[in-house]
Amino acid sequence: MAGGGLFARLKAAAAEDWHAYCHHRFVAGIADGSLPEAAFRHYLVQDYLFLIQFARAYALAAFKADGIADMRSAAAVLQAILDVEMQLHLDHCATWGLDEHDMAAAPEALETTAYTRFVLDCGQRGDALDLAAALAPCVVGYGEIGRRLAADPATVGRGNRYASWIETYAGAAYQEVAGAAVAQLDRLWAARGSDARLKPLARLFAQATRLECAFWDMGWRAGAG
């Protein structure tokens, strides 16, 4: 998926952080079904709150876009988050006894606030390329995690209460979303990139990846308590 474009370069520059994110013990617990239910339930609530801010980030991406094509691309993702992904998330949460009213009333965890406001700040202070780089660890990372878990013979399928989560992010629909994010990074790099921008973008990408790790940590601690 990553090829030899900007995403591959950013990922390589943040290799240690990326591995910690994609192989986090929270992810391992999803793979073998050992993750405590309390950890996953807390994660689901915070992920709902995260999606609200994530949608705002794509509204900002439309504002920051250079032309109609990129505006339409950002608007399409925004609509997909609001009308499709959030509903799928709510449907999944319902199977865990969580409803939208309760989740909307829940306070944001500090990790949720830190991550989402970091992404929004990157977009507000920078340009569309900065924002895309800040969004990439989430969008592309979940696709990579889902694909790897689905292909790993050690991943537990039958009887794993988290199998549907794996199937969602390994599925063709989400893989297309992740691939489109990689392609968008390359388009923005071609239009706005330069050697001088690579290191700042790599720092931004690495920080967003570490914030993803902190998001997993937040869920894990909820299960440990």
Between CA 181 and CA 176 the distance in angstroms is: 9
Q: What is the CA radius of gyration of the chain?
A: 17
138 catalytic residue (yes or no): yes
How far is it between the farthest Cα atoms of the chain? 50
Catalytic residue selected from 85, 138, 144, 213: 138
A 10 A CB-CB count for 111 gives 20
212 catalytic residue (yes or no): yes
Helices (H), the chain: 6-13, 15-22, 25-32, 37-64, 68-80, 86-94, 100-105, 110-125, 128-151, 163-170, 172-192, 195-224
Cite the active site residues.
Answer: 138, 212
